[in-house]
Structure 1
Amino acid sequence: MSDTFKTIARFQYSTEAQIIKGRLEAEGIQVFLSDNLTIDTDPLVSNAIGGVKLKVFRHDALKAQHILNSIHKYSLDDNGNPIHCPNCESEEVNLFSTITDLRSFLAFLFGFISGTLPFYSKDKYRCEVCNHEFNIAS
């Protein structure tokens, strides 16, 4: 068996990687994270260094990739059901944060000047099929 590693996924923040790491470890796969401490120290460098890398031993890579593919990649509602696009009814919908109103812009500006992360942003959903952006009434 080879003791070399293979990167099977990259994440912008270490919290995402920790969740997947727990899932893979529950299946008996040994997982290693790299650059997670750097990004935890300064999250703004995540894109510059390629995010948190999730690595497994090469001999476990195929099994780990299969488990990753089985995890639902799109947004779910509070009951665990897929969110549907109101425009095309697709289930390929992702949550994203946006700065579109004055309140979120001022929060972003204050966070940028003070060196902290923004504490207010507006969340919306975007369909990957038709690129339609929408909100969900709570």
Structure 2
Amino acid sequence: MSQTFKTIAKFQYSAEAQIIKGRLESEGIQVFLSDNITIDTDPLVSNAIGGVKLKVLTTDAMEAQHILESISKYAINDEGNAIHCPNCASTEVQLFSTITSLKSFIAFVFGFISGTLPFYSKDKYRCANCNTEFDVK
């Protein structure tokens, strides 16, 4: 049996990779994470080294890829229902953070100067079909 690993996904932070790793391991697939400790030590190097690599045995790659594709990448509400775009009614809606208000901009500048992470940002939703940005109340 070959012990060769194949990279099937890359993540910016190890927390994302750990969630997917747990899902794959629950399905009986052996998973290996690469560069996760380096990125946990210094998250700013994530883009420079290509993120956290999620690797599986080459014999399990196809099954792992099917499991990854079955995981929804779109936002859901607290009840587990898909969020609908108010413009086109699509369910392909993703959450993102923005710095558009004066308060969030000042917090970003203060965090940048002081070397801390930003402590205020506004979350919005964006439709993948029509690019409409909106809030959910």
Shift of 1:44: 2.0
- Write the distance in 1 (CA, Å) between the matches of 2:121 and 2:48: 22
Deviation of 1:122 (Å): 0.6
Could you tell which deviates more after superposition, 86-95 or 34-43? 34-43
2-structure distance, mates of 1:75, 1:57: 30
Question: How much has 1:103 moved relative to structure 2?
Answer: 1.4
Mapping for residues 83-102 of structure 1, pairs under 5 Å: 83-102=83-102
Q: What is aligned with 1:39?
A: 39
Structure 2 counterpart of 1:131? 131
TM-score by length of 1: 0.95
Bigger drift between 40-49 and 114-123 goes to 40-49
Deviations 1:66-119 (A, max 9, x none): 111111110010011111111111111100001001111111112211222111
2:113 matched residue in structure 1: 113
Using the TM superposition, name which of 110-119 and 13-22 deviates more. 110-119
Name the SS for the 1:123 alignment partner: strand
Partner of 1:53: 53
Q: Equivalents in 1 of 2:110, 2:38: separation in Å?
A: 24
Letter matched to residue 69 of structure 2: N
Structure 2 counterpart of 1:68: 68
**Partner in structure 2 of residue 7 of structure 1:** 7
| CA distance in 1: counterparts of 2:122 and 2:132, whole angstroms | 16
Alignment size in residue pairs = 137
Q: 1:3-56, CA deviations, whole angstroms, 9 ceiling, x for partnerless residues?
A: 111111111111111100000001111111111112112222222221111111
Structure 2: runs of 5 or more not aligned: none
Runs of 4+ in 1 over 3 A off after TM superposition: none
Find the counterpart in structure 2 of residue 77 from structure 1. Answer: 77
CA RMSD of aligned residues (A): 1.0
CA distance in 2, matches of 1:117, 1:42: 13
